Amino acid sequence: MTEKKITARRKPLWPVTRESRQPYPRGWLYREALETREDVVAALFPRKPEVLVLDSSEDKMMPQMKNKRLRELYKEAQFDREHQEVKEIEETVRHLVQEITESIAEKDPLFTNTVLESGSFYEDLKVEGPNEFDFMICLEELSKPGVCAIRAIPFRSVQDPGYVHVEIQDPISRKRWKRYTSKKKENFLKPKTLLEKFKDLVDQVLTEKKEHFYEKLAKTFEADLRKIPVTLKLTWNGAEYKYYEISVDLVVCIRMNGWPEDSNVKDRCKRSHPGYEMIREATQGGYHLIASCIGEAGKPRPCWRLSFSRAEGILLRQLCKNSSLVHKAAVKILKVVQKKNESELCLYEEEADLTDPEVAVDYIGVPESSYLITWAFHSYVLKTMFLHVWFEYPEESYWTADKLAPRIHSILERIHKSLQGRDIRSFWLPDYKLFNFRARRRTRTQACEQKLCSLITHFDKLKLSEK
């Protein structure tokens, strides 16, 4: 049996969307697993391990939930983060990323970096298991005060402050980064060129070090440059998690001091607001610019996207630290609901008219599969809408256990209303749209709206049953 035949029968690891569409994974089967017929089947169809669920006696929230359906959804969202193998996976991934980034800096000092943990796993909002990890790779030289400056992207039919150009201002840094700056717009950083070099360095390091991988990591791997991150696809073979596929996103970014002028979150959050101190703490550490191959219209346009991951992580951890309140439970249950209904919570954008030369030029060199445009409703929308609802109802009395169904209901209603109004906006940057309808071609939302209505009705009944 050839490897081509093996990989042709495998399913994608995630729903095929405009952002995630890639050919079926190739070349990262665990070669040692192909020695027996039984192991071939296991490698072809990796089982989802029994989720290591946290004992409900150790969870303070579970006993407070009176509604059976909410308890079931919450239980699905939980896994035992304290289990030894889960800790082992996290530690192995973290050490691997640290080793990769240190080796990259040795190969090319321009890529000297600081690694920042981000995303749901480190916010303790991950559901299902330790299968996805996110790290921000912050380029040190470009992050020094005064080296870089934000510049608005000119000549856009729809302005969006969430996407910008970056100009190197420091004369010494300009010379050092010349190969990564534009010839047309002198001293403007080219994110795509930067990402391609970063991906090439990752490939080199992994190839050199794969024989020294931790014993439970397969020696085969794949590193893909997607629209924004370089994604590592690894396979773990442990006692509980066998042939377990792990995705690791490495996001190249620049740290910016201060806070964006276009953000009004500090003005909105008055001293009298219960979350005032949390917002103040979250915004003190600045924000980041993420290298991206796509712009606000979702089509190829290298630029830099504003990221508030650090601020979000601080705020979410603060909100979720009180185990007697339902902030964390609400987000986790929403993520379970989203995963269960993923295929129905999609937006459908009309395909590009490649017969139009002005349109076709944007797609030169883009894989044909990218023309099929199905946008999955990303879990980031859930977190954003959760923050909007929390900001509107910040008092703890709105987040007690008996208010769990009403809060989930109100978040779903807000998502539905935003989708109907075609105005899904960031919590941090009011004019930054998470899905910029005005910048895109006509997008069908009816199926997604209908599913949201169905979910709202369902949680409305749960809300009534708790009274």
Question: What pLDDT, in 10s, does the model give residues 98-134?
Answer: 999 999 999 999 999 999 999 999 999 999 899 999 9
**Cα separation of 30 and 39, whole Å?**
10
Domain residue spans of the chain: 1-45, 53-78+322-467, 81-308
pLDDT category, 227, cuts 50, 70, 90?
A: confident
CB 77 within 8 A of CB 332: yes
Q: Kindly state the DSSP code that residue 108 receives in the 8-state scheme.
A: -
Q: What pTM value is reported for the model?
A: 0.81
Structure tokens at 299: 């089509």
Question: What pLDDT, in 10s, does the model give residues 154-212?
Answer: 766 666 778 899 999 999 999 999 999 998 888 999 999 999 999 999 999 999 988 88
Nearest to 123 by CA among 328, 329, 286: 328
pLDDT, greater one: 405 or 358? 405
**Cα separation of 286 and 274, whole Å?**
22
Is 270's pLDDT higher than 80? yes
* Architecture of domain 81-308 in this structure: 2-Layer Sandwich (3.30)
Is 370's pLDDT higher than 50? no
How far does CA 3 lie from the centroid of its chain? 31
85-89, 207-211, 241-245, 397-401: range with lowest mean pLDDT = 207-211
Helix (H, G, I), strand (E, B) or coil at 236: strand
Kindly report the average pLDDT of the chain as a whole number: 81
**Cα separation of 63 and 59, whole Å?**
8
CA distance to 202, 247, 380, per residue, from 222 (Å): 10, 10, 25
53-78+322-467 classified as CATH 1.10.1410.40:
yes
**Cα separation of 23 and 35, whole Å?**
26
Nearest to 456 by CA among 416, 404, 422: 416
